[in-house]
Structure formats: structure tokens, C-alpha cells
């Protein structure tokens, strides 16, 4: 998702208390020891904001690479107070420079599929990225993924297997699985795809 330039986006982002301005040097992001969950490619933030509202005892960080998208999440936060949520404008490429054994869970929702084979390394579930994530996790490494894209899903399952992740939960049609669905929080893309009747692929994997 790349939205056309939003006037004043940089200023809004730079002055928001929700945005971590120097993610590589700011060491203490939250004033407590609660678990930290992150979403890479959070888009306009619906998913991570809803999670933060529902779970005040979990800390959340939303990561997005484009100002024009991140600013939409920042604007949604103008009227609310969520001390357990922070946002970072950053490319996932840099993730290992920001976190060192701090993260509990990584969410990847409707990540860009990069369908061309020569771009497969850019997929956020490629072995290249899974290796990068290794050092960000505190203890067990947990990734929760949703996508509408069957090819990306199959590619991701192979990557997870190659990198020694074990499947804990899986569904090839999340909306037919009452158990997984009861705690599900929708993303912007998910709302669109579900309204069109597309199946949503879901997997939770863990590496010890």
C-alpha cells in the first residue's frame, strides 16, 4: 500500500508522542516489563490499535515503511490515550538494528506478496527475513501471519519449515474456524477481502 503524499505528514509524524523518533538508539520504549508484540507493515493501524485497546497489559509497536501510510495511524490516535502503543517508521530491513531480544510476538498481516520469483527475498516471510528476526525475539520466537494470497502462504509455510519454526495453529479458511476467529482482530485489507468472500489463510508458528 502506498498512498499519495499527505500534506504535512512528516510534521505530524515527527511531533506525535506515539512515534518513536530514534528507534535505533531509544533503548527503553515502555516503562514496564510487559511483553512486547510488533506488527511489521501495519498499514493504517486498525489491527494494532484495536489490540492495544483490548490488551492494556501487552505493549505493542506498529512498524510501517511509508510516511503517507503511517500518518493515517497517527491521525487515528489523536483522540485516544494508549500508553501501551508506539509506532515506528522503518523498513523491516532494519529491524535487527532496533530490537535485541525484546519481542514476544511478530504479526505479519497481508504482507506484500512480491509475486515475481526474483523478488522472493523481499517477502517478509522469506528465509532472509526470518533469519533477521531471530535476534529480535526475547525467548520463544512466535510469528502470527494472515494473508489472502495462497502462493505467499505456501511459500511462507516452506520458509517457516526451513527455519525450524513449528506450526501451532493453521487454517486455510480462517472464517470457517470458530475457535481461531473468536479472538481475531480484522485489518483494513482483511475487511476488504472478507467482504468479497475470499478465504483468509492463517498460521501461528513458534521456534524454541
Residues classed as catalytic: 112
Q: What does the alpha-carbon distance between residue 179 and residue 169 come to, in Å, rounded to a whole number? A: 10
What character string, x for contact with ligand SAM (CB under 6 A) and - otherwise, covers 14-33?
--------------------
Of 10-18, 58-66, 80-88, 153-161, the segment contacting ligand SAM by CB under 6 A is 58-66
Question: What residues contact 143, with CB distance under 8 A and at least 6 apart?
Answer: 105, 106, 107, 108, 125, 133, 160, 165, 204, 205, 206
Residue 63 sits in the site that holds ligand SAM (CB under 6 A)? yes
- Please answer whether residues 203 and 170 qualify as being in contact, where contact means their C-beta atoms are separated by less than 8 angstroms: yes
Of 53-61, 104-112, 133-141, 156-164, the segment contacting ligand SAM by CB under 6 A is 104-112
Residue 151 sits in the site that holds ligand SAM (CB under 6 A)? no
Closest distance to ligand SAM from the beta carbon of 32 (Å): 26
Query: Which CB, 62 or 142, lies closer to ligand SAM?
Result: 62
Residue 62 sits in the site that holds ligand SAM (CB under 6 A)? no
CB atoms within 10 A of CB 5: 12
Cα–chain-centroid distance for residue 201? 15
Q: Where are the beta strands (DSSP E) in 59-200?
A: 59-64, 85-89, 103-109, 137-147, 166-171
Number of shown-chain residues binding ligand SAM (CB under 6 A):
20
- Residues making contact with ligand SAM (CB under 6 A): 1, 40-43, 63-66, 69, 91-92, 109-112, 187-190
Amino acid at each position: 500500500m502506498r498512498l499519495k503524499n499527505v500534506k504535512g505528514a512528516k510534521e505530524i509524524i515527527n511531533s506525535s508522542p506515539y512515534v518513536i523518533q530514534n528507534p535505533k538508539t531509544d533503548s527503553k520504549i515502555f516503562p514496564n516489563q510487559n511483553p512486547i508484540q510488533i506488527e511489521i507493515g501495519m498499514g493504517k493501524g486498525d489491527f494494532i490499535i484495536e489490540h492495544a485497546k483490548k490488551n492494556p497489559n501487552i505493549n505493542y509497536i506498529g512498524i510501517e515503511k511509508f510516511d503517507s501510510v503511517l500518518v493515517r495511524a497517527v491521525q487515528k490516535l489523536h483522540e485516544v490515550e494508549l500508553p501501551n502503543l508506539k509506532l515506528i517508521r522503518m523498513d523491516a530491513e532494519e529491524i535487527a538494528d532496533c530490537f535485541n531480544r525484546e519481542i514476544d510476538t511478530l504479526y505479519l498481516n497481508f504482507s506484500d506478496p512480491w509475486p515475481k520469483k526474483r523478488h522472493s527475498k523481499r517477502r517478509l516471510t522469506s528465509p532472509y527475513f526470518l533469519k533477521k528476526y531471530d535476534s529480535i525475539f526475547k525467548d520463544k520466537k512466535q510469528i502470527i501471519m494472515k494473508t489472502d494470497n495462497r502462493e505467499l502462504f505456501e511459500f511462507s509455510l516452506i520458509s517457516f519449515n526451513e527455519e525450524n519454526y513449528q506450526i501451532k495453529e493453521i487454517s486455510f479458511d480462517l472464517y470457517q474456524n470458530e475457535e481461531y476467529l473468536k479472538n481475531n482482530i480484522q485489518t483494513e485489507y482483511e475487511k476488504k477481502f472478507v467482504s468479497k468472500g475470499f478465504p483468509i489463510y492463517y498460521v501461528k508458528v513458534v521456534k524454541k
